[in-house]
Amino acid sequence: MPSWEYAPAPESRAIANLKPNYRMFLDGEFVEGGGEPLKSINPATEEVLAEVSTAGSADVDKAVKAAQRAQDKVWGRMPGAERAKYIFRVARLIAERARELAVLESLDNGKPIRESRDVDVPTASAHFFYHAGWADKLDHAGYGPDPRPLGVAGQVIPWNFPLLMAAWKIAPALACGNTVVLKPAETTPLTALVLAEIIQQAELPPGVVNILPGAGEVGAAVVGHPGVRKVAFTGSTDVGKSIQRSLAGTGKKLTLELGGKAANIVFDDAPLDQAVEGIVNGIFFNQGHVCCAGSRLLVQESVAEELLDKLHKRVATLRVGDPLDKNTDVGAINSRAQLTKIQELVASGEAEGAKRWTSPCPVPDKGFFFAPTVFADVSQAMRIAREEIFGPVLSVLTFRTPDEAVAKANNTPYGLSAGIWTEKGSRILWMADKLRAGVVWANTFNRFDPTAPFGGYQESGFGREGGRAGLEAYLDV
């Protein structure tokens, strides 16, 4: 056996073209905001990456008014075929600057470069490309002839896929003829502001897209502004609930993409090695900072021991560390606050009697890191089986019959996604029919495509992103 020694393969930080200061994007210009500037840090090193100006409440008002003007006078009136060409430009410019965006994303977010390079950035470009094509085909989308836009969309996005979530929000809004005021997450504003630069380079009319960094109060101001006719939020279920409550009676159209506690269900006939890869991808992709992460593993009892053994062996090989290293499998936890939350939930798992196994992999002493962790002997009542951990922590439960698997999988207020692992096609389809989840993956996990609608049941939110179904959120239908 040859021995393959580990050698670091770091991507150059210089590729990110990091600037010391970033400003918000309002009415086609980069301007200083009236809010207190924030410092975006690299979660892998805890060093400050850049200072970012944030929006004050007057800025939110200005941005909404600019977006309203742009919608009334230019964007809403423009033929779809012309809107399409602007959006295609954005898709191409993202693809051209893909490497720069990927490095910047990994610096700001902490995710492994392999993921930002192979998933986040290309999918973001694809999302614009796909929706560009819809801009002049809305008549064919099944919402009746000539469906109209809503107006100004206020959008608030999370820190786990900063650029990709911006694309998921902006692309359909623009394709349908709306204009946008978007607030990126406080800890990850940088790629959204490079996207603003791309939008400027694509010569979109001023005011069509406005990007206002800031903390929760900026988001609340955007969502609450009377000029906003559509609100789209991706983030925690708690905040989603408070947004839904705050919009009651306003008539604003709302879509929510919230938390999840997805069941990844493995039957005894599943190809176990393939399933192990899918389980690993399901929970350790993006450090588990994924709303649709397969965080509850349901294994058929007869193969539980064997699977768990294989899983431990595989997870122990995952490399945790420098997000810019192309070898890295699991990067940095996005913030200290998130790390604390994960630690707290893991402690509860131990206290409630679940059996903890943590990968013996080396973990950097600087930065926010958490070694991949698998809990066995988890019961449904435990917090780690009920609450979204949003970290690299997997809870393993067992079942005996398909009915029991369905009952346990659906035993959650969430309903975003689910996974099924079996060789039997009819069982996949039977399970898919019974699972109360918006996305069901069979013999795969965490697949995303602009043509495939994504979104949740129950407290995972409502509305879909992507596909023909995703257009509804941005049309007055």
Q: Footprint of other proteins on this chain (CB under 8 A)?
A: 81, 84-85, 88, 126, 129-130, 132-137, 140-142, 402, 425-427, 429-430, 433, 450-451, 467-468
- The minimum distance between CB 85 and other proteins, in angstroms, equals 6
Q: Which segments within 217-340 are labelled E, that is strand?
A: 228-234, 253-257, 263-266, 296-300
Residue 291 is among the residues annotated as catalytic for this protein: yes
Mention every residue, 6+ apart, whose C-beta is less than 8 A from residue 452. 439, 466, 467
d(CA 469, CA 453): 6
Please check whether residue 450 is in contact with residue 126, taking contact to mean a CB–CB distance below 8 angstroms.
Answer: yes
DSSP 268: T
Beta carbon nearer to other proteins, 73 or 140 = 140
- Tokens found for residue 369: 């890191």
Report in angstroms the alpha-carbon separations of 11 from 109, 161, 320: 15, 19, 16
Separation CA 422–CA 270 (nearest Å) = 4
User: What's the min distance (Å) between Cβ of 463 and other proteins?
Assistant: 17
Q: How far apart are the first and last CA of the chain?
A: 63
What is the rounded distance in angstroms from the CA atom of residue 171 to the CA atom of residue 61? 23
Which among 167, 222, 224, 232 has a CA at the least distance from the CA of 35?
222
Looking at beta carbons only, is 137 or 341 nearer to other proteins?
137
In the bound state with other proteins, the residue whose beta carbon lies nearer, of 135 and 382, is: 135
- Put residue 5 in one of left, alpha, beta given phi > 0 → left and psi -120 to 50 → alpha: beta
Nearer to other proteins, 133 or 216 (CB): 133
Count the alpha carbons within 13 Å of 329 in the hemisphere toward its beta carbon: 21
For the bound state, the minimum distance from the C-beta of residue 177 to other proteins, rounded and expressed in Å, comes to: 15
Beta bridge partners of 398: 299
Strands 38-41 and 48-52: antiparallel
In whole angstroms, how close is the CB of 404 to other proteins at the nearest point? Answer: 11
Between CA 325 and CA 322 the distance in angstroms is 5
Among the listed residues 11, 115, 257, 388, the single catalytic one is 257
Name which of 284, 365, 273, 362 is nearest 319 in CA terms.
Answer: 362
Nearest-approach distance from CB 459 to other proteins, in angstroms? 26
Q: Which is nearer to other proteins, 135 or 308 (CB)?
A: 135
Considering only the C-alpha atoms of the chain, give the largest distance between any 2 of them, rounded to a whole number of Å. 69
The residue from 105, 186, 291, 388 that is catalytic is 291
CB of 93 to other proteins, least distance (A): 13
Q: Which is nearer to other proteins, 92 or 356 (CB)?
A: 92
Q: What is the DSSP string of 381-435?
A: TSHHHHS---SSEEEEEEESSHHHHHHHHT-SS--SEEEEE-S-HHHHHHHHHH-
Closest approach, Cβ 129 to other proteins, in A, equals: 7
Residue among 39 and 85 whose Cβ is closer to other proteins: 85
- Residue placing its CB nearer to other proteins in the complex, 81 or 351: 81
Residue 404 catalytic? no
Neighbours of 12 (CB within 10 A): 9
What minimum distance in Å lies between the beta carbon of 467 and other proteins?
6
Residues designated catalytic: 257, 291
